């Protein structure tokens, strides 16, 4: 990686100071001082004997200096050759140092340990990757140690295959790409993990940034010397659209070994165009995170080869409607984990979609960014999920959508579901509860005979007997919460409205997001009673209870301490481990539970 001139200039021999005192080392000592290898079996006795003789000579000189002679007046005086003795003492000390350096355990460190030490020293804990300026300087510094260390480091492909590149402001693009080329050359055939970061750009360096993107990605894809396995391209939130001027000119080769791709370009209008062109040939991609400008992300963003191999996908930055989402996922037959942001507006062309199956999908997260004007289960009419175990429904609204009675048929039969999350935005500025604790939003008023709102009751019907964890974030008054908690405490709420014994007794984790006003009006006592009933059940498996307390504004922060106190007093008696976390629209405070714990009876 480094030229001979660079290595010579970088080396600072330790024995320069030794030469100034004219030490005449034996040949075997001089040769060992020129390298960093341990002495051989033949050399070891010689070095040990040399060290022992030097130590004995040092003791003799020190003894001579400690034995003063008698002066003319009978007073103690230094020997006449004291200066020579001091010089001899310095020379012997250097000999001892040289022998000890040769016998030092550091010379016996295996190359594998040296390689791991180097990797730790170059590691950037904040980026989970290697940073090019740090990693480029550090190996050069190690060249001062020895050629053995340099060879061990250069042959360590893991060190050179993890790379984080940030061109910064004003950095020479050619030199930067040259450094990347050196890295990937030393990486040889090892899988390359590359992170390109362009989050600190300004208008002044716009053209430089364009050249960096074009040359760097072109170098890596067309060079033929790398096997890129993980690639992250992050444009941050910069408002400079550096991709637009070069989108039509960029030409890239195949990336057959790419398995993980993170592409973040929320403000780049040409991001999708570049994405399709650069990653058109990625037949083995397994995991994709794509964040692009909301105006250009659509259901046809994924190339066909990519769709056939994808196992995990997360799309962010565009709210797809139900039809676009379904058209996108139907081609991903191997999909196991998926997360999408959906538009709440009703889809237009659902009838054109054929019924399909996603046989491998086990985890699904749907985030309705603009509210939801239709049943969140509408897409499940066309998509069958036989193996789904984890379902998360998130609504960017303080209330849940109203599910028409006709949509009952769309509620999927998820026989393997074990983890369910239903989240509304309790930090949106309105809890939907007036000063008297009564509901503001009408969908909470339309309840069934058991006191549970129709929407909540239908969604909670997904909580079947094998449910292990449940997360509920609701802006609802105390009567609603009391009715909803029946699903967990003793009565299961079915879609037909009939009640039977709880099938959620085996739940291990429960997370509730509750407005502080509801807690101080009696929620804490209700929850404590239900927890006591559960932990005393012989088949109870509850391991963790988490309560997130929502505060509407700063004027009401004072009620938080009261709410936390009530929860701690009621829950600490019965739950083996629980978290109390306060969420505020601006700031988050962390409350730790007390140390006392009681065993279940």
**Of 108, 127, 161, which residue constitutes the final position of a domain?**
108
Does the residue 381 lie in any domain?
A: no
Provide the 3-class DSSP secondary structure of residue 453: strand
In this structure, the number of other CB atoms found within 10 A of the CB of residue 14 comes to: 12
- Do 102 and 185 belong together in one domain? no
Lowest mean per-residue pLDDT among 230-234, 319-323, 476-480: 319-323
Q: Residue 401 — very low, low, confident or very high, per pLDDT cuts 50/70/90?
A: confident
pTM over the 0.75 mark:
no
pLDDT: is 526 or 44 the higher one?
A: 44
Contact between residue 173 and residue 212 where contact means Cβ atoms under 8 Å apart: yes
pLDDT: is 155 or 178 the higher one?
A: 155
Does the residue 598 lie in any domain?
A: yes
Does the residue 345 lie in any domain?
A: no
What DSSP character marks residue 531? Answer: H
- Do 132 and 51 belong together in one domain? no
For position 332, what pLDDT does the model report? 85
Residue 478 CA to residue 497 CA, distance in Å, equals 20
Residue 593 CA to residue 2 CA, distance in Å, equals 56
- Do 501 and 421 belong together in one domain? yes
Contact between residue 549 and residue 512 where contact means Cβ atoms under 8 Å apart: no
- Do 95 and 118 belong together in one domain? no
**Of 108, 134, 153, which residue constitutes the final position of a domain?**
108
Does the residue 360 lie in any domain?
A: no
Residue 315 CA to residue 301 CA, distance in Å, equals 10
Q: Residue 497 — very low, low, confident or very high, per pLDDT cuts 50/70/90?
A: very low
233 has a pLDDT exceeding 90: no
- Do 463 and 405 belong together in one domain? yes
Contact between residue 591 and residue 581 where contact means Cβ atoms under 8 Å apart: yes
Does the residue 332 lie in any domain?
A: no
Residue 305 CA to residue 402 CA, distance in Å, equals 39
> Backbone dihedral region of 556: left (phi > 0), alpha (psi from -120 to 50 degrees) or beta?
alpha
In this structure, the number of other CB atoms found within 10 A of the CB of residue 75 comes to: 8
Q: Pick the closest to residue 133 from 97, 95, 107, 167 (CA basis).
A: 167
Q: Pick the closest to residue 514 from 461, 580, 568 (CA basis).
A: 580
312 has a pLDDT exceeding 90: yes
Phi and psi, residue 146, nearest 5°: -175, 165
Does the residue 528 lie in any domain?
A: yes
* Burial degree of 70 (CB within 10 A; 0-12, 13-18, 19+): exposed
Residue span of the structural domain in which 70 resides: 4-108
Q: Specify the number of domains making up the chain.
A: 3
- Do 142 and 68 belong together in one domain? no
For position 363, what pLDDT does the model report? 94
347-354 LR contacts (CB < 8 Å, sep 24+): 347/321, 347/322, 347/323, 347/374, 347/378, 348/321, 348/323, 349/323, 350/322, 350/323, 350/326, 350/378, 350/381, 350/382, 352/323, 353/323, 353/326, 353/327, 353/382, 354/330, 354/382
Q: State percent of the chain over pLDDT 90.
A: 4
* Sign for the pseudo-dihedral over CA of 452, 458, 459, 461: positive
Lowest mean per-residue pLDDT among 10-14, 518-522, 579-583: 10-14
570 has a pLDDT exceeding 50: yes
For position 216, what pLDDT does the model report? 58
What DSSP character marks residue 35? Answer: S
- Do 67 and 153 belong together in one domain? no
For range 480-506, the mean pLDDT: 55
- Do 303 and 451 belong together in one domain? no
pLDDT: is 338 or 584 the higher one?
A: 338
- Do 86 and 119 belong together in one domain? no
For position 587, what pLDDT does the model report? 44
- Do 587 and 476 belong together in one domain? yes
pLDDT, tens only, 106-147: 888 888 888 887 777 765 544 444 444 444 455 556 656 677
**Of 51, 84, 108, which residue constitutes the final position of a domain?**
108
Does the residue 331 lie in any domain?
A: no
Does the residue 66 lie in any domain?
A: yes
pLDDT: is 210 or 524 the higher one?
A: 524
- Do 430 and 558 belong together in one domain? yes
Beta strand 312-316 with 191-197: parallel, antiparallel or unpaired?
Answer: unpaired
For position 242, what pLDDT does the model report? 59
368 has a pLDDT exceeding 60: yes
Average pLDDT, the chain: 69
pLDDT: is 420 or 518 the higher one?
A: 420
Contact between residue 320 and residue 341 where contact means Cβ atoms under 8 Å apart: yes
Q: Residue 21 — very low, low, confident or very high, per pLDDT cuts 50/70/90?
A: very low
Residue 591 CA to residue 88 CA, distance in Å, equals 68
- Do 156 and 95 belong together in one domain? no
């Amino acid at each position: 990686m480094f030229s001979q001139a660079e290595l010579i200039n970088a080396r600072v021999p330790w024995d320069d100071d030794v030469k100034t005192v004219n030490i005449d080392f034996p040949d075997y000592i001089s040769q060992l001082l020129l390298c960093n290898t341990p002495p051989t079996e033949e050399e070891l006795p010689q070095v040990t004997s040399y060290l022992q003789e030097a130590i004995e000579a040092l003791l003799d000189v020190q003894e001579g200096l400690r034995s003063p002679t008698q002066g003319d007046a009978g007073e103690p005086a230094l020997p006449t050759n004291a200066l020579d003795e001091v010089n001899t003492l310095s020379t012997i000390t250097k000999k001892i140092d040289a022998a000890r350096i040769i016998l030092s355990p550091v010379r016996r460190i295996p190359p594998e340990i040296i390689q791991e030490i180097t990797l730790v020293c170059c590691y950037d804990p904040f980026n989970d990757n290697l940073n090019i300026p740090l990693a480029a300087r550090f190996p050069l510094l190690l060249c001062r140690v020895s050629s053995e260390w340099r060879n061990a480091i250069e042959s360590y492909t893991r060190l050179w295959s993890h790379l984080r590149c940030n061109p910064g402001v004003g950095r020479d693009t050619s030199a930067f790409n040259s450094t990347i080329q050196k890295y990937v050359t030393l990486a040889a055939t090892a899988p390359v993990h590359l992170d390109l970061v362009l989050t600190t750009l300004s208008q002044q360096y716009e053209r430089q940034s364009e050249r960096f993107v074009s040359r760097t990605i072109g170098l890596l894809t067309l060079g033929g010397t790398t096997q890129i396995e993980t690639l992250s391209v992050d444009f941050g939130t910069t408002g400079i659209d550096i991709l637009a001027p070069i989108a039509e000119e960029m030409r890239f080769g195949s990336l057959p070994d790419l398995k993980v791709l993170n592409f973040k370009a929320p403000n780049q209008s040409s991001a999708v165009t570049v994405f399709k062109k650069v990653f058109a040939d990625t037949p083995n991609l397994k995991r994709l995170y794509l964040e692009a400008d909301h105006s250009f992300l659509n259901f046809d963003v994924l190339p066909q080869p990519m769709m056939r191999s994808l196992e995990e996908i997360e799309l962010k930055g565009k709210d797809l409607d139900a039809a676009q989402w379904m058209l996108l996922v139907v081609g991903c037959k191997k999909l196991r984990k998926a997360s999408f942001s959906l538009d709440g507006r009703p889809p237009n062309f659902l009838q054109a979609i054929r019924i399909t199956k996603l046989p491998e999908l086990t985890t699904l997260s749907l985030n309705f960014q603009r509210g939801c004007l239709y049943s969140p289960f509408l897409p499940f009419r066309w998509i069958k999920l036989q193996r789904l175990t984890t379902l998360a429904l998130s609504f960017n609204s303080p209330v849940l959508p109203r599910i028409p009675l006709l949509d009952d048929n769309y509620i999927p039969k998820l026989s393997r579901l074990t983890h369910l999350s239903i989240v509304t935005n309790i930090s949106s500025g309105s809890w939907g509860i007036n000063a008297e604790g009564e509901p503001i939003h009408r969908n909470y008023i339309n309840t069934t005979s058991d006191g549970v709102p129709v929407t909540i009751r239908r969604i909670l019907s997904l909580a079947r007997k094998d449910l292990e964890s449940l997360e509920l974030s609701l802006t609802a008054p105390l009567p609603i919460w009391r009715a909803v908690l029946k699903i967990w405490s003793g009565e299961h709420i079915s879609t037909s409205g009939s009640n039977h014994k709880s099938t959620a007794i085996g739940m291990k984790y429960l997370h509730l997001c509750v407005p502080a006003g509801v807690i101080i009006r009696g929620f804490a006592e209700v929850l404590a009673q239900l927890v006591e009933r559960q932990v005393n059940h012989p088949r109870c498996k509850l391991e963790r209870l988490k309560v997130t307390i929502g505060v509407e504004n700063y004027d009401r922060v004072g009620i938080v301490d009261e709410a936390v106190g009530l929860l701690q007093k009621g829950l600490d008696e019965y739950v083996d481990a629980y978290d109390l976390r306060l969420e505020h629209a601006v700031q988050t405070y962390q409350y730790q539970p007390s140390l006392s714990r009681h065993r279940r009876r």
